[in-house]
Amino acid sequence: MSCTVRIPSPLRSYTAGAVTVAADGATVAEVLASLERHYAGIRFRMVDEQSRIRPHIRLYVNMEEVKDLSRPVGSRDTVHVICALSGG
Amino acid sequence: MTSTLWIGTRKGAFLLRPGARGRGWKLSGPQFLGHIVHHIVQDPREPKVLVMAAKTGHLGPTVFRSADRGRTWREAVQPPAFRKAGDAEEARAVQKVFWLTPGHSSERGTWYAGSSPAGLFRSEDGGERWQPVGGFNDHPQRPQWAAAATPDGDLLHSINVDPRDPRHLYLAISPGGVFESTDGGAGWAPLNEGCAADFLPDPDAPYGHDPHCVVVHPSAPDRLYQQNHCGIYRLDRPERRWQRIGDAMPRKVGDIGFPIVLHPRDPLTAWVHPMDGQTVWPRTSIAGRPAVYRTSDGGRSWRRLDRGLPPSQAWLTVLRQAMCSDGRAPRLGLYFGTTGGEVWAGANGGESWRCIARHLPEIYSVTCAA
């Protein structure tokens, strides 16, 4: 199952500047794994080694914030990666 | 002075090269603009190789590696990370890679990294893949050693490899203390006897101290120097008790600071950059008059070196990785960077100073590259 992922500017060095990319997976965790396969290193910048979303990263599926990486993702969904403000 | 200087800042990496015919300095960069760069270190075994510890305000920490003296960089395939925690275990995550040290000269491609929260990591492929050093990170006493973590996180730094023995390691945690391993990192023991820790309930505690910078002398590796939160110290192994050589500093200046730099060939010579550690710890030049102090007799006496530095109203802060020497003979060059974004060069062992860059972001590290 393929969905759309919207990439924020701090992570576009991994996607060769692409703002939206396609990724596979039936859950957010699987989508992140798919991103990692295509854009090595990108997952660890968003999710730490304990599989926790990093403090200044927010993930949304469509309009709903993701708290649990097992949250299902459908083929018509868009996963938004948001960089939360983090000072000067 | 003809060294190249790598400047790690809160907003990216910069490079200072001597100008043509030794006149002035040429600043280039930034590289990785917007990245928080804590350390950039050249591999003495393979000088084309540089390793950089970086992160951004939003993204997780990582390491970049260059194989062409910093012209191009590639991210580590597997950056430093703690192992996945088991049930009921503390689930630690690297917040920043703070320190980098090349491994032993006989272990080509080996590197060590220190993180916040305090963690030790090792790479055996030139910084591409990093593994946690379980002997330290999972040591049953590690939670006690690093118990007094500050809100900004405890820092593992000053990783030193004995040039005679790749299995003999020292490291420091700030706060936490100095620790030694004689078996390649499998086992560790505190090494803090003699160091003051006037902020602890027990002044004779075996650990919990706040070493700011610890350096093993490269040509006399039984001699260690330490700039601590509570003074300047020297340790001559196999002794285990540090001697407070900062007591010989002028009383009005005191012996608090972040960096300590050693002369690469003379184990009696070291430089410090004292800061104000009184009352609420401004951590600025004492009385607004910056100076470097040099000992040439192992800490029995210190000489003030301030020619060319601002004589008043200069409130500089120099962090622990932000001072270095170029190791050149006979006229060794010293360099320091400030949190206000200036780089200063001290000719002939710090006898005279001049500002060689200004208006940079907050400087975290200044390192020399050949």
pTM value is 0.95
Mean pLDDT lowest among B61-75, B85-99, B144-158:
B144-158
Name every chain B residue with its beta carbon within 8 A of the beta carbon of A81.
none
pLDDT of residue B86: 94
Q: Over chain B, what is the mean pLDDT?
A: 95
Pick B153 or B107 by higher pLDDT. Answer: B107
pLDDT at res. B21: 78
pLDDT at res. B151 = 74
Cα of A84 to nearest chain B Cα, Å: 7
CA distance A84 to B59: 10
Q: Which residue among B57, B60, B75 sits closest to A48, beta carbon to beta carbon?
A: B60
Residue B2 has pLDDT above 70, yes or no: no
**What is the pLDDT, as a whole number, of residue B330?**
86
User: Using beta carbons and an 8 Å cutoff, which residues of A are at the interface with B?
Assistant: 8, 10-11, 40-41, 44-52, 54, 56-57, 83-84, 86-87
Kindly tell me if the per-residue pLDDT of A58 is higher than 70.
yes
CB-CB neighbors (< 8 A) of A40 in chain B? 75, 77
Give the pLDDT mean for B148-162.
Answer: 88
Return the residue of A nearest to B85 by Cα. A50
**Inside any domain, residue A88:** no
Residue-wise pLDDT tens digits, B87-145: 989 999 999 999 999 999 999 999 999 999 999 999 999 999 999 999 999 999 999 99
pLDDT, position B73: 98
- Mean pLDDT of the region A58-80: 96
Residue B19: CB atoms within 10 Å: 11
- Lookup: tokens for B367: 């390192």
Q: Tell me the pLDDT tens digit for each residue of B187-196.
A: 999 999 999 9
Structural tokens at position B68 = 């062409």
B331, burial (CB in 10 Å: exposed 0-12, middle 13-18, buried 19+): exposed
Q: Which DSSP state fits B220?
A: S
Q: For position A49, which CATH number holds?
A: 3.10.20.30
What's the complex ipTM? 0.89
pLDDT of B20 higher than 90: no
User: Looking at CA atoms only, how far is residue B203 from chain A in angstroms?
Assistant: 36
Write down the pLDDT at residue B48: 96
B164 touches chain A (CB under 8 A): no
Domain ranges, residue A59: 2-83
With CB atoms and an 8 Å threshold, state whether A49 touches B59. no
Q: Hey, is B319 helix, strand or coil?
A: coil
| Residue B12 pLDDT > 60 | yes
Provide the 3-class DSSP secondary structure of residue B91.
Answer: coil
Query: Amino acid letter at B95?
Result: Q
Q: Which CATH architecture has domain B133-321?
A: 7 Propeller (2.130)
Q: CB contact, 8 Å: B59 with chain A? A: yes
pLDDT value at residue B69: 96
What are B212-260's pLDDT values in tens digits?
999 999 999 999 999 999 999 999 999 999 999 999 999 999 999 999 9
Strands of B130-132's sheet in order across: B96-102, B111-116, B119-123, B130-132
What is the number of structural domains in chain A? 1
Per-residue model confidence (pLDDT) at position B1? 46
d(CA B168, CA B182): 4
Task: Check whether B29 has a pLDDT greater than 90.
Answer: yes
Both structure tokens of B6: 């790598």
| Confidence at residue B203, expressed as pLDDT on a 0 to 100 scale | 81
Provide mean pLDDT across the span A20-43. 97
